[in-house]
Amino acid sequence: MSNPLKIGIAGLGTVGAGTVRMVTERAEKLKAATGRAFEITAVSARDKKADRGVDLSGYEWLDDPLAMATHSNVDVVVELIGGADGIAKDLVEAAISGGRHVVTANKALIAHHGTALAGAAEKAGVSLAYEAAVAGGIPIIKSLREGLAGNRIQRVYGILNGTCNFILSAMADQARDFDDVLAECQKLGYAEADPSFDIDGIDAAHKLAILSSVAFGCEVNFDAVHVEGIRQISLTDMQFADELGYVIKLLGVAAVQGAGGETSLEQRVHPCMVPKNAPIAHVSGSLNAVVAEGDFVNTIVQEGPGAGAGPTASAVVGDLIDIARGANIPTFGVPADQLKAMTPVPMHKHVGAYYIRLMVVDEPGVLADVAAAFKKHAVSIESVLQRTRDPGEPVPVVLTMHETEESALTGALADIAAVKSIIEPPRMIRIEAL
């Protein structure tokens, strides 16, 4: 029997406590799967006295988590502190330098520093594992890096933030306003007091940057991700989407454009109009889903819980199992020094169809002004929906546009916003071809 795998856990919040519980409750199963016992030998967190619902008395408590990096009784450091920089980054760098494997759920750290950390880990001959950083309990990193490694991935996209999906699902299903649902999420603990990280799309963008690297063999480039959140989505937009045959989802989408040596990478997070018949349209509540399109496998869809103690701990333990088995897989699927620096596709170059909602004073000539602006910028209208109200009252006018380059559309909308009869900024949602 091999030596036990000795584990140090830094960060004992929901995921840390869940990891302790899973390692202890599934001890025999883990040993049978890997031929090694799993032993938690050291733990660290800010508050030693906090009640975490698990017994920590048998583990060495370290006031300084950095001590794990050189601890003689730690083979693997599990970093669950969080944050792109600070103590989390220091710990991971020190652990790698000290010859310890690293497992992390820290999406921000990997999104901002993943390429450099991967290079350091591979040079040191240790693993840097991060399945728990993307989509919680969905094993999408393993799927892309291993199961689909023989495919050329053309596009990967998904619902990558459960809070946003919960809010949008409740708005659509219960005919409720954004602010109302967000307040409920905060009351239930689904959203933070400051929900910006989730509802402004940053969390999803971190995850998309990581998925892009694994899917396309490129350097992690969070700064190249176009990011928009869901604050501007209204119940009115939800209702028009339903009438037009769509649902609204916050998606992260990454796709390679071009061929051969001329490829570039589009990475974007924003609300999308998704056809009702698309599988991802039916992913509701706080669930996540990831879709990958490969040249041999065609399309695969994986759906599951994207956060929480159990699902995220499951991903952490899955990485520990790989380490215990001696798996030696490059961090992002190919050696770090072979990761490509792909040219980003700016959002103004995006080509697609669009939903536009205008609030107009219903008076003669206003639609002619709108049509003239679209004609000026060579943007083609596909359909128009208009509601009738009393003359002089504001009325919503909804247009869907044929595929066009986004720069042309934004130029037209800037002209339309200047029309006197348009009483609020035009609302635009991209229609995603899935």
265: nearest Cα among 200, 219, 204: 219
Q: Write down the pLDDT at residue 392.
A: 63
pLDDT digits (tens, 9 = 90+) for 257-278: 886 667 899 999 999 999 999 9
**What is the location of CATH 3.30.360.10 in the chain?**
140-305
**What is the location of CATH 3.40.50.720 in the chain?**
5-133
pLDDT digits (tens, 9 = 90+) for 295-347: 999 999 999 998 888 999 999 999 999 999 998 899 999 999 999 999 999 99
Q: Where are the alpha helices (DSSP H) in 291-429?
A: 309-325, 366-376, 406-417
pLDDT digits (tens, 9 = 90+) for 18-71: 999 999 999 999 999 999 999 999 999 998 888 888 989 899 999 999 999 999
pLDDT digits (tens, 9 = 90+) for 180-218: 999 988 887 778 888 999 999 999 999 999 999 999 999
Residues serving a catalytic function are 207
Q: Write down the pLDDT at residue 1.
A: 46
How far is C-alpha 196 from the geometric centre of its chain's CA atoms? 14
Bridge partners of residue 159, in order along the sequence: 289
**What is the location of CATH 3.30.70.260 in the chain?**
350-431
The pLDDT mean for the chain works out to 94
User: What percentage of residues in the chain have a pLDDT greater than 90?
Assistant: 85
Architecture of domain 350-431: 2-Layer Sandwich (3.30)
Architecture of domain 140-305: 2-Layer Sandwich (3.30)
16: nearest Cα among 43, 50, 47, 39: 43
pLDDT digits (tens, 9 = 90+) for 93-129: 999 999 999 999 999 999 999 999 999 999 999 999 9
Bridge partners of residue 110, in order along the sequence: none
| Topology annotation, domain 5-133 | Rossmann fold (3.40.50)
Q: State the average pLDDT over residues 244-264.
A: 90
